[in-house]
Amino acid sequence: MVHVDDGSGLGWNGMQGLHLTADLYGCQCDGALLTDASLLERLCRTSVDAAGLTVVDEKFFTFPDYQGGPGGVTGAVLLAESHLAVHTWPERSGVTLDVYVCNFSTDNSAKAEKLLDDLIIAFSPRQQGTNRILRGSEDPVSQSGELLLEWLNEDSAYGFRAARRIETVRTPYQTLEVFETPQWGRLFRLDGCYMTSERDEFYYHEAITHPAAIAHPKPASALVIGGGDGGSSEELLKHPSITRVVMAELDAEVVRVARKHLGKVHRGAFDDPRLQVRIGDGWALVETMAKEGNERFDLVVLDLTDPDTPAHRLYTPDFFRLLKRVMNPGAAVMLHIGSPVYKPDLVRRLLADLSTVFAIVRPLGLYVPLYGAYWGMCCASDTLDPLALEPRIAEQRIADRGIADLRYYNGDIHRALFALPNFFRELVPARSADRAAQALAHAVR
């Protein structure tokens, strides 16, 4: 490990690096390689040299025989760049490998990858499992260089590099994080899941609002449940007929953080007198509205965390039925339903649940860069059918309403959003799929 004095005596900069691990099973190499320390030592040294890394010292040890069979070998090669560790289990024809390199003076990642690959080839396993971990930060205070990973399901993850961590807040409900990132500018996470970013927010926010808002001939009022970053409300407020948007956000800290750090997402929507922010539980708020009977909406947007988070109560038939009690005739609800690629069963269930409550259920899909996936959304109503709106009419309504700053949505996109690939169609209940086909045929005529 190369340690550099940064004036603090901590040598922080040398910590940033790449850590690779591999678990090898059923190795088909010469059996002596798993039991002879000298053979294993020569293999490791040769592989380290071939990768262009620098040996500082090494130590290998052979364990005594075990239950009538040879013992395994454990060894470590100390590198100027960090280390290589290897352990063998001859009784299982197994090997574990650990390669870590720091990247202070130069990026040694490719050398580490080559070293691990060469060793895996030498052991020739029938099966293997590998992990790739980015270690340390360029700056331990700001967490510069931090890799932000999110899991799409148990088997798939993706991520982005952070330039610095701006704020982290633990509230009674969740953990909020704001980062500065090279790819997306300011990025907002809740409980480790990406919510929005400055540079890609328009994909999600335009798609979850305008298909219903444009299909409605003259929306005057809207209810946003969640959406504390202000992005959905900002899109709804672009429609000149909108006189009131009520945002029901559970966590006041989300609104505070958005106001402070995410101005390029909400674009001043919080200062628009037409927006009313109500802090509290969305279910309780809608229930109160339904009982009192004095508030009704033309549009409802469920801008919530994912359907498999603590917000799951707001993705149920009971809540959908409750929503109908605060929706005007001709109203529609928009919501996101997760990725049909990574969570098809969840998408299928939500579409089925929506179909038990609403007469018209129109799923739509688009690729959302921040979410790393093709993403599903849905428009549901008893009377408003966005699929029946022709592209030219959608385009005309955009022009008539003076909405000039859209980056994703337009008349052609309106129709394209509802054009589902076959694998997505298979998740749609038969009754909804038949109605969608009929609506599309009518619109084309």
DSSP 139: B
Whether 303 sits among the annotated catalytic residues: the reply is yes
The CATH code of domain 17-135 reads 3.60.90.10
Is the pLDDT higher at 161 or at 46? 46
Is the pLDDT higher at 358 or at 16? 358
Q: Which secondary-structure segment (H or E) carries 278? A: strand 275-279
Say which residue the tokens 């039991």 belong to.
35
pLDDT tens across 367-396, in order?
999 999 999 999 999 999 999 999 999 999
State the fold for domain 201-444: Rossmann fold (3.40.50)
pLDDT for res 422: 98
Q: Nearest CA to 302 among 247, 249, 224?
A: 224
pLDDT for res 67: 82
pLDDT for res 216: 98
Catalytic residue (choose from 303, 306, 353, 385): 303
Whether residue 110 is predicted with pLDDT greater than 90 in this model: the reply is: no
Mean pLDDT of the chain: 91
pLDDT for res 1: 38
- The two three-digit tokens of residue 358, written as one number: 């609403």
Residue type, position 88, single letter? T
Is the pLDDT higher at 150 or at 438? 150
Whether residue 11 is predicted with pLDDT greater than 60 in this model: the reply is: no
Boundaries of every domain in the chain: 17-135, 147-197, 201-444
How large is the C-alpha radius of gyration of the chain? 28
Portion of the chain with pLDDT greater than 90, in percent: 77
pLDDT for res 4: 35
Whether residue 135 is predicted with pLDDT greater than 80 in this model: the reply is: no
The dihedral sign for the CA sequence 201, 203, 206, 212: negative
pLDDT for res 5: 34
Relative orientation angle of helices 109-123 and 37-51, to the nearest 10 degrees: 140
pLDDT for res 10: 36
CA distance 216 to 302: 17
CA distance 168 to 261: 12
CA distance 176 to 258: 10
Quick check: helix, strand or coil at residue 226?
strand
Q: For 327-354, what is the mean pLDDT?
A: 97
Portion of the chain with pLDDT greater than 70, in percent: 91
Q: Are 379 and 212 in contact (CB under 8 A)?
A: yes
Dihedral (Cα; 171, 174, 180, 185), 10-degree rounding: -120
At residue 134 the predicted structure's pLDDT band, cuts being 50, 70 and 90, is confident
Q: For 213-225, what is the mean pLDDT?
A: 98
pLDDT for res 330: 97
Whether residue 355 is predicted with pLDDT greater than 70 in this model: the reply is: yes
Q: Nearest CA to 178 among 247, 265, 249?
A: 265
pTM: 0.73
Give every CB contact of residue 137 below 8 A, 6+ residues apart in sequence.
Answer: 12, 15, 16, 143, 144, 145, 146
Whether residue 58 is predicted with pLDDT greater than 80 in this model: the reply is: yes
Q: For 194-215, what is the mean pLDDT?
A: 98
Instruction: Tell me phi and psi for residue 268, to 5 degrees.
Output: 80, 10
At residue 415 the predicted structure's pLDDT band, cuts being 50, 70 and 90, is very high
pLDDT for res 442: 54
The CATH code of domain 147-197 reads 2.30.140.10
Q: Nearest CA to 388 among 126, 125, 244, 212?
A: 212
pLDDT for res 48: 97
